[in-house]
A and B are shown apart, each in its own frame.
Chain A
Amino acid sequence: MKVAVAGKGGSGKTTIAGTLARVLAQGGNRVLAIDADPNPNLAVNLGIEPETAARIEPVPHSFSHHSKNAEGRYSVGMDLSPEEIVARYGTSAPDGVTLLLVGRVESHQAGAG
């Protein structure tokens, strides 16, 4: 199941998202928590220490498509499987939740829209 949590800023959506992810994991589900907010703070709501949270590397936005740079070379790190992405960029949170930061919308990808 793919659940998204939206709401106005300050509505408590992140607290609810983080608590929900943990509660679902406590129930024996494999849970991936995804922070898609450009101002990420889901980590703390999942119970990750602030020092650890500050060091989390976001999933790069360029992995899933091939883009040539000025020298005509392809960028590295694309075409990872979901499992590889989780293994490489996932951070373990309490109750077995894994957190991914996906952050900002990539401007050149969104440019067509």
Chain B
Amino acid sequence: MRGILEHLHTSESLLTVTDMEAGLEHLKRGTLEHAEVLLIVVEPYFKSLEAAGRIAELARGLGVPALYAVANKVRSERDEVAISDYCAARGLPVLAVVPFDADVAEAERQGVAVLDSAPEAAAVGAVRGIADGLLATNQPEREGRVAD
């Protein structure tokens, strides 16, 4: 897989979004070495936070240039604080907070994209924020504008 990803990424004008294998083991194989930005999706509970911390550590070891947490399924201020505290302690910027959203769960039940079934969903709005944040951090004239 690594060879394929490297090969595909020789095309410059292309923006790629790679959905990695769940979990951690594959990261050790170096499949992440092609990535310029890694988004680590994290839920507000201990095991998810711990997994995110380990993924961040591995990705740093592999030399991924930019790492961000994306807080997902956040139901409360307390959830948000749990994630931001954990990430702050590990020097991991939180790029976005995606709220828990019943529209996402419903889309999964139906086997459709939430962007099609509920384009105005709060979670979709938060993902639009991720896209804006990524494109902003990707500007060459970004002094002082890096999201953190």
Inter-chain contacts of A72 with B (CB < 8 A): none
Interface range, B side = 35 or more
A23 to B10 CA separation, bound complex (whole angstroms)? 23
Main secondary structure of the interface of B (DSSP, over half): mixed
User: Which residues of chain B from 2 to 34 have any CB-CB distance to chain A below 8 Å in the complex?
Assistant: 2-5, 7-11, 13-23, 26-27, 29-32, 34
Q: How many residues of A contact B (CB 8 A)?
A: 61
Q: For the complex, is B94 an interface residue (Cβ under 8 Å from A)?
A: no
* Residue in contact with B20 in the complex, picked from A4, A22, A23, A29, CB distance below 8 Å: A4
Q: For the complex, is A94 an interface residue (Cβ under 8 Å from B)?
A: yes
Inter-chain contacts of B20 with A (CB < 8 A): 4-6, 13, 36-37
- Residue contact A5 to B17, C-beta cutoff 8 Å: yes
A residues apposed to B, CB below 8 Å: 1-24, 27, 29-39, 42, 44-47, 50, 59, 61, 63-65, 82-83, 85-86, 94, 100, 102-106, 109-110, 113
B residues apposed to A, CB below 8 Å: 1-5, 7-11, 13-23, 26-27, 29-32, 34-43, 47-48, 51-52, 55, 59, 64, 70, 72-73, 98, 104, 107-108, 111-116, 123-124, 127-128, 130-131, 134-135, 138
